[in-house]
Structure 1
Amino acid sequence: NLRALFGYMWAHPGKKLLFMGGEFGQRREWAHESSLEWHALGMDQRHEGVSRWVADLNRVLREQPALHQKDFVNDGFRWVQRGDWEQSVVSFLRLGNEAAPPILVICNFTPVPRLNYRIGVPRGGYWRELLNSDAPMYGGSGLGNYGGCEATPMPYEDFSHSLSITVPPLAALFFKPE
């Protein structure tokens, strides 16, 4: 799914680059003899959803220091799980300077929703769901975490707290501690 891929890409360190038409999910390959398929935006909600998703990814990238402050240093990125390859779920933290709260990113690369999925986090409190690529406004099914969830003092992997979340199919989620 393109929305999951873009969420994964935007969450990783480094600068972002899309080729012509990627920002709205153009289907055919770009050709210099013709224009982009801008008309698809008014005709297909999936294209509008991808366009909205890219706009919101750009907004969150700009607004959340942890997603850009340490783009080119090793301590700006930390894997959360050592690899849930059996379920094709990838999770990591983006870290900024001391004052910047971390951003937790979880990506599910299968068409299977993961319910009550436990994931470690570095602190307790409420973790707000900043972005969910499966939201209806992006063309998704609407499966999610009702805006966020509370971290419990249950250690998991290398972390002192954990979340029990719903990870939608073929989706990327971004969380931030309040």
Structure 2
Amino acid sequence: MKAIKKINFETKDKFYNYLNLKLTGLICEEKDWLANLSNASALLWLLLDKINWAGFYLYKNEELVLGPFQGKPACTHIEIGKGVCGTSIETKTTQLVMNVHDFPGHIACDSESNSEIVVPIIKGNKIIGVLDIDSPIINRFDNEDKKYLEKFVDLLIKYIEFPDEFI
């Protein structure tokens, strides 16, 4: 796995406040949306423990298309309503999946993934895409992760000027 020394925090709250502060610093003055999503996925990869994929799928031509990410090569196209990512867009809700093998229609891009969290990125009422994070650990993500990763996405929506093809 990654040979990066992690910062130890007393609570998830303190960790995620740090993560979101770092994200704000990275993207608040940068205007390029691609650079911002690339740095956001790199930041997640660097700081989150026990993950094997972190990145984005973007909504284009009525499907999700692979965007900036960190991890192994991934599925390139995902239909709306298919898999965890497609379900997140179809329902416009965060999908917190404790065990992907129990999720009907899960798309296994990496056979080592066992849990997943997917947060939809919606600006106004326009779909931008999803934040997708996978872990080789069953039950890796919980409602506290969900709460703070939704705040992470809120920061992306606040600071990133997405091109017209997304909004």
Structure 1 length normalisation: TM-score? 0.27
Structure 2 length normalisation: TM-score? 0.28
Larger Rg: 1
Q: Which has the higher helix share?
A: 2
